[in-house]
Chain A
Amino acid sequence: MYAVGFFAFLHLPLLTLAVFSFNSSRFTVWERFSLDWYRAIFRDPQLIEATWNSTIVAIVATAISTVVGTLCAYGLWKRGSRLVTGTLYLSLVTPEIVTGISLLALFQWIFRWLHWHLGLYTVILAHVAFSIAYVVIVVSARLRTVSRSLEEAAMDLGANEWEAFFYVILPALGPGIVAAALLALTVSFDDFVITSMVAGVDSETLPMVIYAMARRGASPVINAISALVTVFFGIFVLISERIRES
């Protein structure tokens, strides 16, 4: 009853998008089944380059933020720091537009001295900045299930602090780190607001291209892209859940 309507509300819009991505007509009147729009995607060099950029940014930013975030979560687990935790939460709560413009302001200010320009690297830096908080949260949650005596036992048996972390805690964290990385990947891949503020002229990402197209009006190509992106994300989520459950 209500539940059906609720879930329908949540999922139908996306399903409709997907369905009509196979429609040969531009309008929401069903003509015939067609893969034209999908083909159009692969013929558009701008799209392909943007997707490539998004992928690179996501992978690099995720790699950095996962490492930094995991180390931070571990450090906080040994002894909490209200300052660090508070700042991390603050970074999560800050509206994206504010984060975006503040990073833009920072980069422009630095560029006054260095004569550099915005580019893919500024996007990566920005993505790491907001991803760290997510990684810390996920890894911290996992750390809470790890008994402290595990670390003590390792040291008791002859491992120093670093060895205890590397040989005992890290393996125990395994699935948590993977889940955190996947979260960071999806967040990074999907980001638009912050990216649009700090990206250079040649460094467009997929969300930026989608936005530009959407601004010009709806187009079935966007439907097709959306369907692909959704499936892609969906697979990621499934993998993440599987790993989390193990």
Chain B
Amino acid sequence: MLYDRHELRRVDPRMKPVLELRSLVKDYTGQRALAGISLSIPRGSFFSLLGPSGSGKTTTLRMIAGFEEPTSGDVLINGEVVNCRKPYERNVSTVFQSYALFPHLSVRSNIEFGLKRHGIADSEARVVDAIKLVGLIGKEGRRPAQLSGGERQRVALARSLVLAPDVLLLDEPLAALDRNLRKQMRAELKTMQRRVGITFLLVTHDQEEALSMSDQLAVMNEGRIEQIGSPEEVYLHPRSKFVAGFLGAVNWIDGVGVRPEVTRLARESQNHGSKSFPAIVTDSVFLGDCFQVVVRLNSGEEAVAQVHRGSTVFQPGEAVHVCWNPADEITVS
């Protein structure tokens, strides 16, 4: 079900992309935070901006929300240029990293806040729906201080979703949660997005998050987008060393990249179509579900292989052969 702000009618998905960024540049005194970002986000998708801190992903998010103005370039929402529009004039909503819940208001009042500001009457049903959606029935009367971290995040989500924005912006939403809760919320967020059909734009530095939740993701580095694609595309066919390394561990051997999980170790040289290099085992670390075996090749390069429990156990000092299927190679320009 797709929303349109005030009117709750179905929207034709063949309309213009819900969010478009055209050559966005942002300069601060003495520093260029964004060096030309261009993106087009399909309606109803779960899109992530992935990158290390300082890559400009949060700046991009804030520009879409309206808290920063681009130095040059355009932000388009539903085909309209919104550069000069204030945050309260844009139909996007932000879930802040700190959740930014209003401490003096109850859960219900927090969720109602945006509706009241927009002058939307008869919002009772929408509020109840939102509370149900995030699973906070029974806690409407509580104040933020009386909620757990996870509960607060749900309130922040409900507060933004109830406005049926064109895009929901999420600024590192899982960063403040502990590990187990994070895994749980990942699944929930994904399910939620599918249910409401609203376009989600997530900003994160955690590649696991981006890979597990997104329909598409953009990898950012130093103010530029290095690659856009589906999780599989970006992980299996990265177009630069940076993207390859940021999405996961990579072994660079003989000019190509091979991920540890497809790097195999064998006692004898392999011949059937795999590349094979002799090496010496330098270290073997037991990680519980597998061994991480570090080897040094004759060329001096180091490689890490993920070896499952149950197969041969490799000891430091052993002579082995490192091999992989050429189809698993990563070649970058």
Interface residues of A (CB under 8 A from B): 147, 149-150, 152-160, 163, 167-168, 171-172, 174
Contact = CB atoms under 8 A, between A and B. Distances in A.
B88 A159 contact: yes
Given A149-B97, A152-B87, A157-B93, 17 more contacts: A147-B98, A149-B96, A149-B98, A149-B100, A150-B102, A152-B67, A153-B102, A155-B66, A155-B86, A155-B87, A156-B65, A156-B93, A156-B160, A158-B117, A160-B88, A167-B113, A171-B105
B278 interface: no
Which 4 residue pairs of A and B lie closest in terms of their CB atoms, listed nearest first?
A: A157-B114, A158-B117, A153-B100, A171-B104
A97 B86 CA distance: 49
B29 to A, nearest CB: 15
Contacts of B163: 157-158
Nearest to A173: B104
A150 B98 CA distance: 9
B55 interface: no
27 contacts: A147-B98, A149-B97, A149-B100, A152-B94, A153-B96, A154-B102, A154-B113, A155-B66, A156-B65, A156-B88, A156-B92, A156-B93, A156-B160, A157-B88, A157-B159, A158-B88, A159-B113, A160-B86, A160-B88, A163-B117, A167-B117, A168-B102, A171-B102, A171-B105, A172-B102, A172-B104, A174-B104
A74 B65 CA distance: 23
B118 interface: yes
B103 interface: yes
Contacts, number: 63
A158 B113 CA distance: 9
Q: Binding site of B, secondary structure by majority: helix, strand, loop or mixed?
A: loop
A158 B114 contact: yes
A153 B103 contact: no
Select the residue from A155, A163, A172 with max chain B CB neighbours within 10 A: A155
Nearest to A151: B100
B83 to A, nearest CB: 16
Contacts of A172: 102-104
Nearest to A164: B88
Contacts of A158: 88, 114, 117-118, 163
A159 B117 contact: yes
Interface string B117-147: 1100000000000000000000000000000
Contacts of A171: 102, 104-105
Given A157-B159, A159-B117, A147 B88 contact: no
A169 B121 CA distance: 24
A146 B82 CA distance: 29
A157 B160 contact: yes
Nearest to A155: B87
A159 B116 CA distance: 9
A156 B90 CA distance: 8
A163 B104 CA distance: 15
Contacts of B86: 155, 160
Contacts of B104: 171-172, 174
A155 B88 CA distance: 5
Contacts of B118: 158
A33 B105 CA distance: 54
A160 to B, nearest CB: 5
A158 B86 CA distance: 9
A157 B164 CA distance: 11
A41 B285 CA distance: 89
A150 B87 contact: no
B95 to A, nearest CB: 9
Contact of B117 (A147, A157, A174): A157
